[in-house]
Structure 1
Amino acid sequence: MIRTPRGIHAALLALGLAGTAFITAPAFAAGTLTVSSPQDPGSWDPIDTFLVNWASVATNIYDGLTYRGPDLKLVPGLATAWEELDAGKRIRFTLREGVKFHDGEPFNAEAVKFTFDRLLGDEGKKGPQRSNYAAIDKVEIIDAKTVDFFLKAPDPVLLTKLAGYGAMIVPPKYIQEKGDDYFNAHPVGTGPFKVTSYEPKIAIKMEAFADHWGGAPKLSNLEYRFIAEPATAVAELQAGRVDLVIPPTIPVGMIPTIQADPKLEVMSTAGPTVYALRFNTKSGPTADERVRKALILGIDRNAIIQSILGGQAAPIASFQGALSFGNDPDMKPLPYDPEQAKALLKQAGIAAGTTLQIDVRGNDSTFNEVSQAIASYLQIIGINATIKPYEVNVLLNDIIPAGKTGAMFEQAWGGWTLDYDNTAYSMYHTGEKWNPYDSDPKLDEMLESQRSLTDRAKREEILKSIARYTADRALEIPLYNYNAIFGVSKRVKNFTPVPDSRLRLTDVTVE
């Protein structure tokens, strides 16, 4: 039986600020934890990525001003306190003193200003993170341990955003001396583990940072191996060469293999990751809303969830899961109705046998199986769907942003802020990196209007309206909200899977 951590549902309801101090760990003991991750993010610069697998590694390398713990509560990180001023348009942060980067450079107000000047400047334009922090106008240094964030408008999600991705604090002197490209492959942060080596597409290795402000980790070494093939990752777990396999590596079909090994266990937790097939709404058959709705109606998502995903997922009506603020539980997915799908295709003048391409991530074995099932369903309604796999970084950073996809393309999204804005703005706002096809002024206005609202109820209603509007326009085929599944050696102690997959491994030990 898959073991789910107790109390997770209560923890999910506990989002908000917590005034508790960061718990420190004792000095590290001998021990190396080896983790299998399904992909090398290809960049360790916080402003150059959005991948969950980047975050699961980098949360051990970097710190933010705030930190979201395993219980999803927001606690102090590199900032020990903060206060809102000027009706929420200025936030003053008091910084933690005595903190060092891994190279010995001191953390201070200068590092905070440098990080956000860089994120909001020309360097930040190259990556996908900048729009998450668009509310920030500037950062001003008050003194060595105090900074003010001046906002263009209040941002109700900013404190959460400061706990991840683009807001991770980086070392000014190191980057200025070494350059961005060097930093990208030789990351330095203030986190509990210090990078010792990185071989692209092979592994990244770290050692415990004894001077971490929260106390040294219990492990002495941490290694992430990049193993794309699930069977290989599970074989390495069985052989004891890997201690932990993280999502989305393990297909449901391999769960019994792990459970049958007395040395191993499977752990699962609800998570925010959602999957969809998004459409080219600009050209070709899928520019027609009737065709898009026909394709949605032609797929039996519930059958896919049960037969391929083993029930480890829930159907979604919009591109967000149940943990997302803005999710509307009253929204229902379009039902499986192949006859109505055929009728819509006929109305749109789509001939039987029309070929449509689906672009997928080649390393995602589970979704590749799902996409084959989708192709079979589409065959029933007269669509010949072809599957084109890409290396994940090529698809996400080259093909999609350039608008070179087929009629449909796989999009998986972690929604790490647990707020629909993080997903919706990136996917639907005109000009965003992962929205190469669609431009809708009404939708843009809705997206922009909720970003500065501090009235939680009003903002939630706008987010729900966005979800309903995008569903009415059929901008994607919303598929499912997938659980996070981990394969774990029983040698590993004190490991708890977290909903957002950002695994800070400071308390883990290996026997």
Structure 2
Amino acid sequence: MKPKKLLIPALVLAAALGLSACSGSASSTNPSGEAGTPVSGGTLTYFANTEPPVWDGQRIPSLNANSINSSIFDTLVAQDKDGSYKPDLATGWEISDDGLTYTFTLREGVTFHDGTPFNAEVLKQNLDRPLNEPDLATVSTGIAENVVVDDDTLEVHLSRPNAAFIHALSTPHWPIYSGKVLSEHTPAELSASPELSIGTGAFKVKEYTKGSQLVLERNDDYDWAPETWEHEGPAYLDEVVIQFVPETQARIGALTSGQADAIDQIPPLNIPEVEGAGLTVLEKDNTGTPYYLALNPNLAPFDDKNVRIAFREAIDIDGLLEGVYNGVQKKAWSTTLPDTPPVGSFDESLVDSWGYDPEHAVKLLEQAGYTDVDDEGYRVKDGKRLTLQWDVDSLYVQTDQRQQLGEAIASSLKDVGIEVIRTPYDTAAYTAELAKGKHHIADASRGYADVGTSVAPFATISIPSSNGGSGINYGLLSDPQIDAAYGVISTSQDPEERIAAAYEVQHRILDEGYAVPIYIPKKIVGTTNAVQGWKFDAVGYTDSFYDVWLHQ
């Protein structure tokens, strides 16, 4: 099969904003408003809202881990601001006409933090991992075999065409570990501690105290930054101290008192407090999926479309967002967010196409047979109350005040006679619990700068398995029309074909009431005026601390 030489896959030619949720390039921000001349030195103290539950990027799509790992690991390719892909650890690549073989030419002279060299054999060790560890999230990439051609060339053979393969390799979901680490340590050990996170990146792990903090120090040997960054050579900062502080007021207090240079996850209602202290608030909308409620159509009463639509129309999303977030979080109209690449993947015709209509919701419930109301005001059919079970991942309930929002949604639904019971589950058991199919509702959001990830949560292939797995189809939805469209989105290199299929899915989900889009997630970070060069990617997460510097 004659290969075609590409540095920019066809699917990204239209992706003007096609940045990964964790890609190696992003827009930069100068919080003080004055760029100045970058200077080297200093320690950045950053208060993160949670400690990553797992440190291995291939194992779980944790944006908290990815935000940190992107400073420790380089990626095989880097995604630029215009959505094109540029060399990183790979200097170039060829894709066969059938889209099944990728040949990567690798950068020479790169070393890991432990002094061992980066080469094709080490890359093969990393890309072989999904073949040997079937519970990894990266299994979905479709790698069938990796073949070392020589020290600087690796062939990757896929089992099926994957339109987002190059994009996937631009994210910290594919951290490139030292081969020595992979040979000497188990997958469980990689997951348990960042002290084994030995990559080729601009920072290396200096020390780690579980439950408290992680300290990164500059890799002075770093001399292979991709052109997507703002400078060359080592990072500016000497160190980055990342402290894990889940309490919101503790993070804000640390910023206003000067104990922290930057803090993560400022709640919208606290923005005036931070700005009033003369500090800077940085905001960036996500791409991918919104925060949404996935409805399980396999379980009564949600096996009735009328009940699903009634549930959606009974939620005053605008009013709840105003009450919980003071209007900072904006309503989502679709399960694909604006600016998700390829550009145009979000169907703008869906704006204002549905909304809050409690009177119609009641009519739909009555059509579904819920004509009676019990003594507590809940609707009843055949003597059984309309009760819905909402399963909650306990790790994320504090993100964006989702606990408060969820409770408000559940409470408001009583107005039309729907009872909602929210039950939290430990993260480790969450997907296995969902796989049992006993829930009616599960909430999620997924940041990633490719339209495939906004559709994958509704494809049959993504239904979670009973042992947990990596399934992200929390509604356990199996719809042939959506599956067919996802087949196009996941294999086609034509952006127009992918966009048309994405439109079909967005309409299908809303028409059938399979999910309720709630709001557009965003990253909200607070910094002192000394912090310069802060980076956001398309979903609002810092790519790396590489370009960050402190104004003296």
Tell me the TM-score normalized by structure 2: 0.81
Q: Which residue of 1 aligns with 2:442?
A: 409
The offset of 1:95, in angstroms, is: 0.5
The offset of 1:397, in angstroms, is: 4.9
Q: Which residue of 2 aligns with 1:421?
A: 452
Q: Distance in 1 between matches of 2:202 and 2:438?
A: 40
Instruction: Please list every run of 5 or more consecutive structure 1 residues that lacks an aligned counterpart in the other structure.
Output: 1-10
1:99 matches 2:114 = no
Higher relative contact order (CA 8 A, sep 6+): 2
Q: Which residue of 1 aligns with 2:350?
A: 331
> How many residues of Structure 1 are paired with residues of Structure 2 in the alignment?
485
Q: Distance in 2 between matches of 1:68 and 1:190?
A: 18
Contact 1:198/1:205 (<8 A) preserved: yes
Residues 1:337 and 1:435: Cα distance change in structure 2 (over 3 Å): same
1:270 matches 2:270 = no
Residues 1:266 and 1:47: Cα distance change in structure 2 (over 3 Å): same
Deviation string for 1:288-337 (max 9, x for gaps)? Answer: 32211111001122223333333333322322210123321112452210
Q: SS of 2:348's equivalent?
A: coil
Contact 2:17/2:538 (<8 A) preserved: no
The offset of 1:494, in angstroms, is: 2.1
Q: Distance in 1 between matches of 2:244 and 2:82?
A: 27
1:288 matches 2:304 = yes
The offset of 1:97, in angstroms, is: 0.7
**Stretch of structure 1 that moved more, 430-439 or 214-223:** 430-439
Residues 1:27 and 1:316: Cα distance change in structure 2 (over 3 Å): closer
Q: Distance in 2 between matches of 1:41 and 1:427?
A: 26
Amino acid paired to 1:270: D
Q: Which residue of 1 aligns with 2:246?
A: 228
Q: Distance in 2 between matches of 1:396 and 1:235?
A: 33
Amino acid paired to 2:420: A
Q: SS of 1:175's equivalent?
A: helix
Matches within 5 A, 1:489-504: 489-500=528-539, 501-504=541-544
Contact 1:38/1:363 (<8 A) preserved: no
1:509 matches 2:549 = yes
Q: Which residue of 2 aligns with 1:187?
A: 197
Contact 1:28/1:216 (<8 A) preserved: no
Q: Distance in 2 between matches of 1:216 and 1:330?
A: 47
Contact 1:421/1:447 (<8 A) preserved: yes
Residues 1:396 and 1:210: Cα distance change in structure 2 (over 3 Å): farther
Instruction: Please list every run of 5 or more consecutive structure 2 residues that lacks an aligned counterpart in the other structure.
Output: 1-13, 27-36, 226-232, 379-385, 465-470
Q: Which residue of 1 aligns with 2:4?
A: none
Residues 1:62 and 1:275: Cα distance change in structure 2 (over 3 Å): same
Q: Distance in 1 between matches of 2:348 and 2:408?
A: 27
Contact 2:290/2:445 (<8 A) preserved: yes
1:197 matches 2:207 = yes
Amino acid paired to 2:283: S
**Stretch of structure 1 that moved more, 495-504 or 482-491:** 495-504
The counterpart of 1:355, out of the listed 372, 375, 387, is 387
Amino acid paired to 1:506: Y
Amino acid paired to 1:498: D
The counterpart of 2:73, out of the listed 48, 62, 68, is 62
Q: Which residue of 1 aligns with 2:405?
A: 370
Amino acid paired to 2:286: G
Q: Distance in 1 between matches of 2:355 and 2:302?
A: 19
Residues 1:191 and 1:129: Cα distance change in structure 2 (over 3 Å): same
Residues 1:277 and 1:162: Cα distance change in structure 2 (over 3 Å): same
1:160 matches 2:167 = yes
Q: Which residue of 1 aligns with 2:361?
A: 341
Matches within 5 A, 1:84-483: 84-119=95-130, 121-123=131-133, 125-131=134-140, 133-134=141-142, 136-184=143-191, 185=193, 186-212=196-222, 213-214=224-225, 215-246=233-264, 249-262=265-278, 264-272=279-287, 274-325=290-341, 326-332=345-351, 333-350=353-370, 352=373, 353=378, 354-360=386-392, 361-364=396-399, 366-390=401-425, 393-394=427-428, 396-400=430-434, 402-403=435-436, 406-414=439-447, 416=448, 418-430=449-461, 431-432=463-464, 433-435=471-473, 437-483=476-522
Deviation string for 1:332-372 (max 9, x for gaps)? Answer: 45221001111112222345423323344332252222223
Q: SS of 1:216's equivalent?
A: coil
Deviation string for 1:374-393 (max 9, x for gaps)? Answer: 123212111122333455x3
